[in-house]
Amino acid sequence: MSTEIKTTCPYCGVGCGVIARIDDNGTVSVKGDADHPANFGRLCSKGSALAETIDLDGRVLHPQINGERASWDKALDLVASRFSQTIAEHGPDSVAFYVSGQLLTEDYYIANKLMKGFIGSANIDTNSRLCMSSSVAGHKRAFGADTVPGTYEDIELADLVILTGSNLAWCHPVIYQRLAAAKAARPSMKIVVIDPRRTMTADIADLHLAIRPDGDVALFMGLLAHLAGTAAIDQNYIGKHTNGFAEAFAAASTLDIADLMELTGLPSMQLRQFFRLFEETEKVVTCYSQGVNQSASGTDKVNAIVNCHLATGRIGRPGMGPFSLTGQPNAMGGREVGGLANMLAAHMAIENPEDCDRVQRFWQSPDIARKAGLKAVDMFRAVADGRIKALWIMATNPVVSMPDADAVAAAIAACPFVVVSDVLQETDTTQYAHVLLPSLGWGEKDGTVTNSERRISRQRAFLDQPGEAKADWWQMAEVGRRMGFADEFSFPSAADVFAEHAALSAFENDGSRDFDIGAHARTDAATYDALAPFQWPQPEHAAAGITRFFGEGGFFHADRKARFIAVEVPVSDRTNTDFPLTLNTGRIRDQWHTMTRTGKSARLSAHIAEPFAEIHPRDAMEIGVASAALVEIESPYGTAVVRALVTDRQARGSLFVPMHWNDQFAAKARIDAVVAPLTDPVSGQPASKNVAVSARPLRVE
The residues of the shown chain that bind ligand SF4, judged by CB under 6 A, are 9, 11-12, 14-16, 39, 43-44, 46-47, 172-174
Q: How far is the CB of 442 from ligand SF4 (least distance, A)?
A: 11
By the 8 A CB rule, do 277 and 192 touch? Answer: yes
Q: How far is the CB of 590 from ligand SF4 (least distance, A)?
A: 10
What is the H or E stretch that residue 407 is in? helix 405-414
By the 8 A CB rule, do 433 and 407 touch? Answer: no
| Cα–Cα distance, 72 to 37 (Å, whole number) | 40
Q: How far is the CB of 2 from ligand SF4 (least distance, A)?
A: 21
| Cα–Cα distance, 525 to 535 (Å, whole number) | 20
DSSP codes joined into one string, 209-262: E-PPTT-HHHHHHHHHHHHHTSTT--HHHHHHHEE-HHHHHHHHTT--HHHHHH
| Cα–Cα distance, 395 to 423 (Å, whole number) | 8
| Cα–Cα distance, 176 to 184 (Å, whole number) | 12
Q: Which residue is nearest to ligand SF4 (CB)?
A: 47
By the 8 A CB rule, do 186 and 336 touch? Answer: no
Residue 318's contacts (CB-CB under 8 Å, 6 or more residues apart) are 153, 154, 157, 283, 548
Residue 267's contacts (CB-CB under 8 Å, 6 or more residues apart) are 261
Q: How far is the CB of 137 from ligand SF4 (least distance, A)?
A: 24
What is the H or E stretch that residue 270 is in? helix 268-280
Name which of 15 and 101 has its Cβ closer to ligand SF4. Answer: 15
Q: How far is the CB of 347 from ligand SF4 (least distance, A)?
A: 24
Burial degree of 302 (CB within 10 A; 0-12, 13-18, 19+): buried
Q: How far is the CB of 172 from ligand SF4 (least distance, A)?
A: 6
Q: How far is the CB of 698 from ligand SF4 (least distance, A)?
A: 33
- End-to-end Cα, the chain, rounded Å: 61
Q: How far is the CB of 40 from ligand SF4 (least distance, A)?
A: 11
| Cα–Cα distance, 90 to 85 (Å, whole number) | 8
DSSP codes joined into one string, 528-558: HHHPPPEESP--TTS-S-----BTTB--SST
Name which of 33 and 488 has its Cβ closer to ligand SF4. Answer: 33
Q: How far is the CB of 288 from ligand SF4 (least distance, A)?
A: 17
Q: Quick one: DSSP state of residue 453?
A: T
Name which of 48 and 264 has its Cβ closer to ligand SF4. Answer: 48
Name which of 373 and 586 has its Cβ closer to ligand SF4. Answer: 586
Q: How far is the CB of 466 from ligand SF4 (least distance, A)?
A: 23
By the 8 A CB rule, do 104 and 473 touch? Answer: yes
Name which of 41 and 244 has its Cβ closer to ligand SF4. Answer: 41
Name which of 7 and 134 has its Cβ closer to ligand SF4. Answer: 7
| Cα–Cα distance, 628 to 433 (Å, whole number) | 37
Name which of 100 and 635 has its Cβ closer to ligand SF4. Answer: 100
Q: How far is the CB of 508 from ligand SF4 (least distance, A)?
A: 35
Q: How far is the CB of 131 from ligand SF4 (least distance, A)?
A: 14
DSSP codes joined into one string, 604-632: HHTTS-S-EEEE-HHHHHHHT--TT-EEE
Name which of 451 and 505 has its Cβ closer to ligand SF4. Answer: 451
Backbone φ, ψ for residue 504 (5° rounding)? -65, -35
Name which of 53 and 683 has its Cβ closer to ligand SF4. Answer: 53
| Cα–Cα distance, 321 to 60 (Å, whole number) | 44
Name which of 46 and 347 has its Cβ closer to ligand SF4. Answer: 46
Q: How far is the CB of 585 from ligand SF4 (least distance, A)?
A: 19
By the 8 A CB rule, do 499 and 2 touch? Answer: no
Cis peptide before 438 (omega within 30 of 0): no
Name which of 174 and 409 has its Cβ closer to ligand SF4. Answer: 174
Cβ neighbours around 23 below 10 Å, total: 11
> What is the Cα 319 distance to its own chain's centre?
24
Name which of 226 and 597 has its Cβ closer to ligand SF4. Answer: 597
Residue 337's contacts (CB-CB under 8 Å, 6 or more residues apart) are 105, 108, 109, 112, 345, 346, 501
| Cα–Cα distance, 164 to 295 (Å, whole number) | 13
Name which of 181 and 250 has its Cβ closer to ligand SF4. Answer: 181
Q: How far is the CB of 184 from ligand SF4 (least distance, A)?
A: 19
Name which of 174 and 227 has its Cβ closer to ligand SF4. Answer: 174
By the 8 A CB rule, do 222 and 272 touch? Answer: no
Name which of 39 and 64 has its Cβ closer to ligand SF4. Answer: 39
Q: How far is the CB of 175 from ligand SF4 (least distance, A)?
A: 7
CA dist 20 → 6, 8, 599, 613 (Å): 6, 9, 20, 36
Q: What single-letter amino acid sits at 175?
A: I
Name which of 14 and 346 has its Cβ closer to ligand SF4. Answer: 14
Cβ neighbours around 188 below 10 Å, total: 6
By the 8 A CB rule, do 396 and 594 touch? Answer: no
Backbone φ, ψ for residue 356 (5° rounding)? -60, -45
Cβ neighbours around 277 below 10 Å, total: 17
